[in-house]
């Protein structure tokens, strides 16, 4: 029995070594190889390969951005089963911020913390029309010229396009002219329709995410990519998700970064009606970081820690497992606290300290991942 186990371990080591060689060579990994990494490979070995690739890409540099997340409305007609943030509009705590309220909120942080990126997204609110967004973005750019607007999920873009009877490319052009700079990766979850049905996403919305991102990339608008894991998906679903992102990245190179983040069950339908009570643990978090680094390599060179859902120490660990971007500062974010999980605020100084205490060099970047300045490690 012991000899069989040792032989089995040798076969697995040999398989992982072939994967390592392919990844370092820039060769594409296939679905079976990705599934093998999810189901059988040792976490430490994956981390070591992922770190080797990161070292080649960015050495000891870890970037971060001075970011403000602004959730302008929590009213949403999509009602995903994994979301604790949305309201249908009748509850006492449902809200939609006016333009003045948004500007006031930004001005509380902009100068004080040197914010350079505004991540602005909310629910799919049927009462807001295109003019709300164009006027808002124009005013933000006018009043805060140093801010890059990273705004609107594909769900919001899809709805505004239907409501305003414009094609997605035409809408994106209007939004770009109004000040939208880049698009966040929210809404990707897992692309499989089977999975999306169970988590309360409309059928076809995975393909739609990819199609809107492709439209944006074809026009030169850069975006982020994400994957939400730790709910009802399996390792093949995750492999297919990564492969779909890799295929699109090969066409235009429009994704600036990839963030795998774990589902937070608190106060969601997936918890109350489907009994998913626990978030994925540290092994899954680090495995997803490492595998995404190994799969994407230099093609999609920025892998972001999902510290927001996992805390600062896990953010640091993610760097040793292949991540090379911390993400951003946080001031009064509202989506994660809706699950009952407190994230607090995270200021620039804490990020710099968290990165430099690992012997890495913190690199402050802007919304387009351009270096602003470095800090001593």
Using CB under 6 A, list all residues that contact ligand SF4.
Answer: 76, 78-80, 83, 85-86, 123-124, 155
Q: Which is nearer to ligand SF4, 60 or 267 (CB)?
A: 267
Q: Which is nearer to ligand SF4, 83 or 140 (CB)?
A: 83
Q: Which is nearer to ligand SF4, 83 or 115 (CB)?
A: 83
Determine the Cα–Cα distance for residues 147 and 68; give it in Å rounded to an integer: 10
Query: Nearest-CA neighbor of 358 among 320, 302, 306?
Result: 320
Residue 83: CB minimum distance to ligand SF4, A: 3
Q: Are strands 371-374 and 361-365 parallel, antiparallel or unpaired?
A: antiparallel
Are 226 and 258 in contact, with CB atoms under 8 Å apart?
yes
Determine the Cα–Cα distance for residues 86 and 159; give it in Å rounded to an integer: 16
Are 177 and 141 in contact, with CB atoms under 8 Å apart?
no
Determine the Cα–Cα distance for residues 126 and 374; give it in Å rounded to an integer: 43
End-to-end CA distance of the chain: 49
Residue 79: CB minimum distance to ligand SF4, A: 5
Q: Which is nearer to ligand SF4, 15 or 79 (CB)?
A: 79
Residue 27: CB minimum distance to ligand SF4, A: 36
Question: Which tokens belong to 177?
Answer: 């002219």
Q: Which is nearer to ligand SF4, 78 or 336 (CB)?
A: 78
On the CB side of 218, CA atoms within 13 Å amount to 11
Placement of tokens 């978030």 in the chain: 279
Q: Which is nearer to ligand SF4, 265 or 322 (CB)?
A: 265
Residue 309: CB minimum distance to ligand SF4, A: 14
Number of Cβ within 10 Å of residue 104's Cβ equals 11
Question: Which tokens belong to 224?
Answer: 């982020």
Determine the Cα–Cα distance for residues 179 and 151; give it in Å rounded to an integer: 10
Residue 320: CB minimum distance to ligand SF4, A: 30
Residue 201: CB minimum distance to ligand SF4, A: 7
Are 255 and 249 in contact, with CB atoms under 8 Å apart?
yes
Q: Which is nearer to ligand SF4, 85 or 110 (CB)?
A: 85
Residue 263: CB minimum distance to ligand SF4, A: 11
Q: Computed from CA positions of residues 25, 31, 33, 35, in that sequence, does the dihedral angle turn out positive or negative? A: positive
């Amino acid at each position: 029995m012991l000899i069989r186990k040792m032989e089995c371990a040798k076969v697995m080591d040999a398989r992982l070594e072939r994967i390592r060689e392919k990844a370092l060579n820039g060769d594409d990994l296939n679905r079976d190889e990705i599934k093998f990494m999810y189901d059988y490979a040792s976490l430490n070995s994956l981390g070591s390969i992922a770190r080797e690739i990161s070292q080649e890409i960015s050495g000891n540099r870890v970037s971060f951005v001075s970011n403000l997340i602004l959730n302008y409305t929590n009213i949403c007609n999509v009602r995903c089963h994994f979301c604790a943030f949305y309201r249908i509009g009748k509850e006492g705590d449902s809200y939609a911020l006016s333009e003045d309220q948004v500007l006031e909120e930004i001005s509380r942080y902009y100068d004080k913390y040197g914010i350079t990126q505004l991540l602005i997204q909310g629910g799919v609110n049927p009462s807001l029309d295109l003019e709300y967004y164009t006027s808002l973005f124009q005013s933000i750019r006018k009043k805060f010229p140093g801010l890059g607007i990273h705004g609107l999920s594909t769900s919001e873009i899809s709805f505004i396009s239907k409501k305003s009877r414009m094609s997605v490319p035409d809408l994106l052009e209007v939004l770009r002219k109004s000040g939208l700079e880049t698009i966040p990766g929210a809404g990707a979850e897992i692309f499989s329709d089977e999975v999306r049905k169970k988590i309360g996403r409309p059928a076809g919305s995975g393909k739609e995410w990819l199609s809107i991102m492709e439209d944006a990339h074809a026009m030169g608008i850069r975006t982020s990519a994400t994957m939400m894991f730790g709910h009802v998906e399996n390792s093949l679903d995750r492999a297919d998700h990564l492969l779909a992102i890799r295929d699109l990245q090969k066409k235009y190179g429009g994704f600036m970064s990839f963030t795998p983040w774990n589902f937070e069950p608190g106060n969601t339908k997936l918890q109350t009606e489907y009994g998913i009570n626990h978030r994925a643990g540290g092994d899954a978090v680090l495995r997803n970081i490492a595998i995404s680094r190994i799969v994407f390599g230099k093609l999609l060179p920025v892998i972001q820690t999902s510290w927001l859902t996992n805390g600062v120490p896990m953010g640091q660990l993610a760097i040793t497992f292949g991540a090379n971007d911390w993400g951003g500062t946080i001031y009064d974010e509202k989506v994660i606290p809706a699950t009952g999980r407190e994230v607090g605020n995270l200021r620039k100084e804490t990020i710099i300290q968290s990165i430099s205490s690992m012997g890495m060099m913190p690199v402050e970047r802007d919304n387009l991942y351009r270096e602003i300045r470095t800090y001593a490690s």
